[in-house]
Amino acid sequence: MPEGNAPAQVIAGRYELLEELSHGGMGDVWRAYDTVLDRPVAVKRIRQQSITSPSLAEEFAKRFQREARITARIQHLGVPQVYDAVLDDTHERLFLVMELVDGVPLSAYIDPKRPLPVSWAAAVAAQVATVLSHAHDVPVIHRDLKPGNILVARDGTVKVLDFGIAAILRTDVTKLTATGSPIGTYQYMSPEQVRGGRITPQTDLYALGCVLYELLGGRLVFEAESEYLLMYQHVNAAPTPLRELRTDVPADLESLVLDLLLKAPEARPADTQEVYTRLLPFLPAPGHEPEAGEAGPVGVPDPTALFRRPYAPRSRAQAPAAAPNAPGGPDGIAPPAPLAPSLADVRANIDEAYEHFNALLEEERFSQAVEVLGEAIEPAARALGSENKQVLGLRRNRAAIRLLGGDYRAALPEFEALADVYARVSGPSSKPARECRAQAARCRAELGQVTDALAELQGVLAVVRSVDGDVSVEAVELRHDIGMLLLAQGRAAEARQILEPLHEDLCMVLGPDDEMTVEIAEALALIRLDLDGPAS
């Protein structure tokens, strides 16, 4: 509470900071009060220590707001809702205003001398899987899942905190100091994160495996005296099977944990729905009362309570239903066709849509920008033809904004369809066709379809090299993406063959201090640590 009668600090003219709840490396969390809506809230101040110039401050502010907006799209009771994202004029004070959760951190459940009952550990993992199923559908990848980011509310609901924070601060990528020493903590980091490779939904599944292992075994998956050895173990070592730590862990549950901890992202379970299904046999049935052996730690909420009533993740996305053959309304009579607008009116509507679109884009209001273009596409296609250059431009801009806003699932089919159209209209090697193919591949990579993404990007790169050479902007971006995807898959030698010449080219073209040049230098430094080689 504020000392004495000192006034509470007020954020954005409405949020009164009343009491600090936690203090950590990523920021401080305060219990606060929203004076406008008359309700308690949580305010998290994001600590950002790498801003060294006004341009970096502006870039960070945009990233902060973008990630906050994407996180706010996760609609699930296991995710504290994001109410506001506040930035002050200096960009040094950045705040997320969120739902205030009364709960106990999962770290309070972990005791090496008393591992959790199987049903409790399974209930926590199943609830986290449920939350992740909603996040991955947006899609949002947590990137920093660990016991400290998981709360169990008083009613037993598991809450997953800090979605988007790792992306905002870019702490999901391993960094090296000037001397080549790794910095950061790696107890729950997947092999692809340790390597600095591409992050996918399977990255969260690995972290969930680490958490479930710790809940059942009472100890971390890997423990080491140095961070290098810990990094090596995550990349190369096999975890001790859980049944060697405690014999009452069911064999099928041990198998699930080991599958979650597989080194290759695509070897892990396909998605969170599969994880949830494999956890079902270890959850209490609806109406089932706890038995004596199912008692967990004293004084903390029971995460199995929710499963004594039906509770499940959202269903997988279904293919859209085919349009009915018969036109018209329920009586089967087609409505009268509207009067066709003139071409001048159509082009004026397109100009107006772009004007509105650009204004929304300036404010990074991506969802609304997508809607504005969507409303213009159908009438333009009717009047000008579906393969008209302006219509394709509208569709391409809409897909690009979906990609920029993190809606990869919606952007993927749009880019694929556009690539087919441009290949037919302008030729398969034309710039619009290959750029749309590359963007579709990037969407696939973000959705975890890494093998298909790599094959597509490599195909596009071959075309670009034959047309524009190796150091065009397009070629450089493709080489970067391919190298980082190879790195994420554990194909370090192949990644090195791509990234070393790319780094040399970038040093000459953009200079050693360019952001991409630095990123690739850090990736190469990690490769040279030889994490896949014998640990010394």
Torsion of CA 74, 77, 82, 83, to 10 degrees: 120
Q: Residues spanned by CATH 3.30.200.20 within the chain?
A: 9-98
CA pair distance 212, 122, nearest whole angstrom: 8
CA pair distance 209, 145, nearest whole angstrom: 10
Model confidence band, residue 528 (pLDDT cutoffs 50, 70, 90): confident
The DSSP secondary-structure symbol of 305 reads: G
Indicate the helix (H) or strand (E) that contains 15: strand 15-23
> Angle at which helices 251-260 and 201-217 pack, to 10 degrees?
140
Indicate the helix (H) or strand (E) that contains 27: strand 27-34
Is pLDDT of 118 > 60?
yes
**How many Cβ atoms sit within 10 Å of the Cβ of residue 299?**
7
Active site residue 144: yes
- What pLDDT is recorded for position 462? 94
The CATH number assigned to the domain with range 9-98 reads: 3.30.200.20
Residue 325 vs residues 206, 329, 334: alpha-carbon distances, Å: 46, 12, 12
- What pLDDT is recorded for position 56? 66
Looking at the DSSP bridge assignments, the partners of residue 16 are: 10, 33
Is pLDDT of 321 > 90?
no
Name 193's Cβ contacts closer than 8 Å, sequence gap at least 6: 143, 172, 173, 174, 199, 203
Q: Which of 285-299, 325-339, 412-426, 488-502 has the lowest mean pLDDT?
A: 325-339
Mean pLDDT confidence for 356-382: 86
Q: Which of 463, 410, 407, 405 is nearest to 434 (CA)?
A: 463
Instruction: Report yes or no: 210 and 219 within 8 Å, Cβ to Cβ.
Output: no
CA pair distance 266, 448, nearest whole angstrom: 8
The DSSP secondary-structure symbol of 184 reads: S
- What pLDDT is recorded for position 347? 84
Mean pLDDT confidence for 83-110: 81
**How many Cβ atoms sit within 10 Å of the Cβ of residue 320?**
6
Residue 451 vs residues 137, 411, 446, 477: alpha-carbon distances, Å: 20, 19, 12, 18
Mean pLDDT confidence for 155-180: 68
CA pair distance 235, 237, nearest whole angstrom: 6
Model confidence band, residue 532 (pLDDT cutoffs 50, 70, 90): low
Q: Please tell me the number of Cα atoms within 13 Å of 446 on its side-chain side.
A: 25
Residue of 144, 162, 172, 204 marked active site: 144
CA pair distance 256, 159, nearest whole angstrom: 22
Pairing verdict, β 39-46 and 27-34: antiparallel
- What pLDDT is recorded for position 112? 86
Model confidence band, residue 198 (pLDDT cutoffs 50, 70, 90): confident
- What pLDDT is recorded for position 84? 85
- What pLDDT is recorded for position 286? 83
Indicate the helix (H) or strand (E) that contains 455: helix 450-468
- What pLDDT is recorded for position 535? 54
Q: Which of 74-83, 278-287, 391-400, 525-534 has the lowest mean pLDDT?
A: 525-534
The percent of residues above 70 in pLDDT, for the chain, comes to 83
Q: Residues spanned by CATH 1.10.510.10 within the chain?
A: 103-287+300-308
**How many Cβ atoms sit within 10 Å of the Cβ of residue 80?**
24
CA pair distance 233, 154, nearest whole angstrom: 36
Amino acid at 310: P
Is pLDDT of 440 > 90?
yes
| Residue whose pair of structure tokens reads 């096999």 in the numeric block | 238
- What pLDDT is recorded for position 179? 47
Q: Which of 449, 132, 121, 143 is nearest to 256 (CA)?
A: 121
Name 304's Cβ contacts closer than 8 Å, sequence gap at least 6: 119, 120, 123, 156, 283, 284, 290, 294
Mean pLDDT confidence for 145-167: 86
Name 179's Cβ contacts closer than 8 Å, sequence gap at least 6: none
The DSSP secondary-structure symbol of 166 reads: H
| Residue whose pair of structure tokens reads 């969802």 in the numeric block | 367
Is pLDDT of 2 > 60?
no
Mean pLDDT of the chain: 83
Is pLDDT of 6 > 70?
no
CA pair distance 98, 32, nearest whole angstrom: 10
What's phi and psi for 251, nearest 5 deg?
-60, -40
| Residue whose pair of structure tokens reads 């499940």 in the numeric block | 312
CA pair distance 54, 465, nearest whole angstrom: 36
Instruction: Report yes or no: 126 and 396 within 8 Å, Cβ to Cβ.
Output: no
Model confidence band, residue 258 (pLDDT cutoffs 50, 70, 90): very high
Identify the CATH class of 103-287+300-308.
Answer: mainly alpha
CA pair distance 151, 153, nearest whole angstrom: 6
